């Protein structure tokens, strides 16, 4: 048992004060752009793998939280100096080698002992008085910030004695070379204990020197000769992974990502306990993404932390594993109804992430409504519906009920625009539902004669739609084998998207059904 349990982040980049609890197996990290998904993975890397240990001190400026810097600038005092603390509680076996990580130096429950590692970045108390004039002038002395790593017992933490092996896969294009080297280094470290690592590196340097000394290179003069700068010969920097004798970084980003993930998940390769993957959907075709998802689903024993914008990944890996990043915490969907989670798993085309991340959601039955509602909204309010913070999602038929449990757990504002299908039971359900629910409302026409969207519009706009649709009187327009006695309605029902597109491109001077106007009015409030 070697896993991450939870993490507190104070003053690091996006996070002023942030808390997250991890699932033991799969963690799907979602959030808006710039919400801090990448920052979360970076915080884990910094703490466990001591990223930035050999750093330029001026990088501190990039790491400190901007809000905390602003607070200091407005009131430059010692107590307002920005700082960083990252505490990670670990799940570790109760064995002597882990005892050093057990203590109370953390920001979780007071006076509680637990296993963990702390990263801090702040100005040492020993020199802070000497810097007082600089501090009170409003300047931040970045060069005097010190990074340190310690266990929850308060002892120094060295990566050589790391209790958990972490492997990171960064699928972004940014700094791909450095991220690739970092992956190689982590994989090498996880596959070899410290003694063997040192042995390999020493033998490598000795053999490189031996080869160099055999080269026919002339001396500079009697006192100087050419040699090797061993500081530039870093074993991990030249390390690569060959697939059929071809470096995987030369196979294209998509293929590279698949191979790296497969290696990381192979139970026979290395001793990786925790695997982080940055947006696995990047650079992958649909089929390759499915392959990668299958690789992830087949894993056993490893804890995985995955950031994504892709609904297919969230659906396929189980919605209950989602952790939604908000301002101060990550909201878990662990209590989502299992039946609903299974439904979305089997219907991966549903844009569940868009639903979760949207402030207000309008669920519609099909592409007709999806196409025309923005046009209708603009006509009524002279505003763009998306600019109003309302997201339209085509959920298909009665499937909107599958979103209900998620909407309730997230306290999300949701309007459902649907047909009554000429069933009094649907009207009764709608009326009863709307009396008992505040954040989610159902809207449909109250007349059974107006049983669907097309019929509602036709009954209010007969003359205009007769001209627009231009039904052929000789054609037998039946819908679900039923003749509705009106050629225009028949053609509209059998060509929903086509007619909707014609309506969209017309002057759109149509009378809007009341239930649609009621729906839009409610959700925009």
Query: Which helix or strand (DSSP H or E) is residue 85 part of?
Result: strand 84-91
pLDDT in tens, 222-262: 878 888 887 777 777 777 777 777 776 666 666 666 666 66
**Beta-strand relationship, 390-394 and 360-364:** parallel
Rounded average pLDDT over 408-437: 92
3-class secondary-structure state, position 332: strand
Mean pLDDT throughout 465-488? 84
The answer to whether residues 414 and 522 touch, using CB atoms and an 8 Å cutoff, is: no
pLDDT at 279: 84
DSSP 151-200: ETTS-B--GGG-SS-EEEEE-SSTTHHHHHHHHHHHHHHHHS-HHHHHHH
Most confident of 78-92, 223-237, 247-261, 319-333: 78-92
pLDDT digits (tens, 9 = 90+) for 372-403: 999 999 999 999 999 999 999 988 655 677 78
Rounded Cα distance between 514 and 376, Å, is: 12
Strands (E) in 385-480, as ranges, are 390-394, 413-417, 440-443, 478-479
Mean pLDDT calculated for residue range 409-438: 92
Eight-state DSSP code of residue 385: T
| 432-445 per-position pLDDT tens digit | 999 988 889 999 99
Calculate the average pLDDT of the chain: 86
Distance of CA 363 to the CA centre of its chain: 23
Structure tokens at 363: 């669920």
Q: How confident is the model at residue 175 (pLDDT cuts 50, 70, 90)?
A: very low
What letter would DSSP give residue 22?
Answer: -
Pairing label, strands 413-417, 440-443: parallel
More confident residue, 327 or 519: 519
pLDDT tens profile 285-315 = 777 777 777 777 777 778 999 998 877 777 7
Q: Which two tokens stand for residue 194?
A: 């410290």
* Per-residue pLDDT tens digits for 201-210: 888 888 888 8
Cα separation, 107 vs 8, in Å, equals: 7
Averaged over 29-38, what is the pLDDT? 88
Alpha-carbon dihedral 85, 86, 87, 90, rounded to 10 degrees: -160
Summarize the confidence of residues 166-178 as an average pLDDT: 61
Residues pairing with 121 in the sheet: 84, 147
The per-residue pLDDT for 352 is: 78
Mean pLDDT of 420-435: 95
Least confident of 87-91, 198-202, 515-519: 198-202
Q: What is the 3-state secondary structure (H, E, C) of 339-370?
A: HHHHHHHHCCCCCHHHHHHCCEEEEECCHHHH
Question: What percentage of the chain reaches a pLDDT higher than 90?
Answer: 47
- What mean pLDDT do residues 333-348 have? 75
b or e along 223-258 (b: 16 or more beta carbons within 10 Å of the residue's beta carbon)? eeeeeeeeeeeebeeeeebeeeeeebbeeeebbbbb
pLDDT value, residue 256:
67
Distance CA 455, CA 75 (A): 65
251 in Cβ contact with 144 (< 8 Å): no
pLDDT at site 174: 41
- pLDDT over 90 at 114, yes or no: yes
- pLDDT at position 234 is 74
Q: What is the mean pLDDT of residues 307-324?
A: 81
Nearest-CA neighbor of 103 among 43, 156, 141?
Answer: 156
User: How many CA atoms does the CB half-sphere of 215 hold within 13 Å?
Assistant: 13
pLDDT at 258: 66
Give residue 105's pLDDT band: very low, low, confident or very high (50, 70, 90): very high
């Amino acid at each position: 048992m070697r896993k991450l349990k939870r993490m507190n982040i104070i003053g690091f980049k996006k996070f002023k004060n942030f808390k997250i609890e991890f699932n033991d197996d799969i963690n799907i990290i979602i959030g808006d752009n710039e919400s801090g998904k990448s920052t979360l993975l970076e915080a884990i890397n910094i703490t466990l793998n001591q990223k930035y240990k050999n750093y330029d001190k001026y990088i501190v400026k990039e790491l400190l939280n901007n809000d905390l810097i602003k607070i200091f600038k407005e009131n430059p005092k010692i107590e307002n100096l920005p700082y960083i603390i990252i505490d990670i509680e670990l799940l570790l076996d109760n064995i002597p080698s882990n005892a050093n990580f057990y203590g109370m130096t953390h920001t979780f429950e007071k006076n509680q002992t637990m296993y963990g590692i702390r990263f801090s970045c702040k100005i040492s108390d020993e020199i802070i008085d000497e810097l007082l004039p600089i501090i009170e002038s409003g300047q931040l002395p970045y060069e005097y910030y010190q990074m340190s790593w310690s266990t929850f017992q308060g002892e120094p933490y060295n990566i050589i004695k790391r209790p958990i092996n972490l492997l990171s896969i960064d699928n972004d294009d940014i700094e791909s070379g450095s991220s690739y080297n970092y992956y190689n280094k982590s994989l090498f470290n996880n596959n070899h204990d410290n003694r063997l690592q040192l042995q390999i590196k020493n033998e490598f340097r000795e053999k490189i020197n031996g080869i160099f000394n055999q080269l026919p290179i002339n001396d500079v003069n009697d006192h100087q000769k050419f040699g090797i700068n061993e500081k530039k010969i870093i074993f991990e920097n030249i390390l690569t992974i060959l697939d059929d004798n071809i470096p995987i970084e030369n196979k294209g980003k998509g293929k590279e990502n698949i191979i790296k993930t497969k290696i990381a998940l192979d139970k026979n390769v290395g001793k990786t306990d925790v695997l982080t993957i940055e947006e696995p959907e990047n650079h992958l075709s649909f089929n390759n993404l499915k392959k990668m998802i299958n690789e992830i689903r087949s894993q056993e024993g490893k804890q995985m932390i995955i950031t994504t914008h892709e609904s297919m990944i969230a659906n396929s890996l189980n919605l209950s594993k989602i952790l939604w990043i908000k301002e101060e915490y990550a909201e878990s969907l662990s209590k989502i109804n299992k039946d609903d989670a299974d439904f979305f798993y089997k219907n991966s085309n549903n844009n569940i992430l868009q639903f979760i991340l949207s402030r207000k959601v309008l669920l519609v039955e099909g592409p007709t409504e999806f196409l025309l509602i923005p046009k209708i909204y603009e006509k009524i309010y002279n505003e763009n519906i998306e600019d109003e913070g309302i997201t339209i999602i085509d959920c298909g038929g009665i499937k909107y009920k599958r979103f209900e449990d998620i909407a309730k757990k997230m306290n999300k504002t949701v309007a459902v625009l649907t047909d009554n299908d000429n069933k009094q039971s649907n009207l009764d359900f709608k009326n009863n539902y709307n009396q008992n629910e505040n954040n989610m409302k159902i809207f449909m026409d109250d007349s059974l004669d107006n049983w669907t969207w097309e019929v509602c519009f036709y009954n209010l706009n007969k003359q205009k739609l007769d001209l627009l649709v231009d039904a052929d009187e000789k054609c037998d327009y039946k819908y679900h084998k039923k003749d509705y006695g009106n050629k225009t309605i028949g053609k509209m029902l059998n060509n929903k998207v086509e007619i909707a597109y014609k309506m969209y491109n017309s002057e759109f001077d149509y009378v809007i059904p009341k239930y649609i106007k009621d729906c839009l009015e409610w959700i925009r409030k």
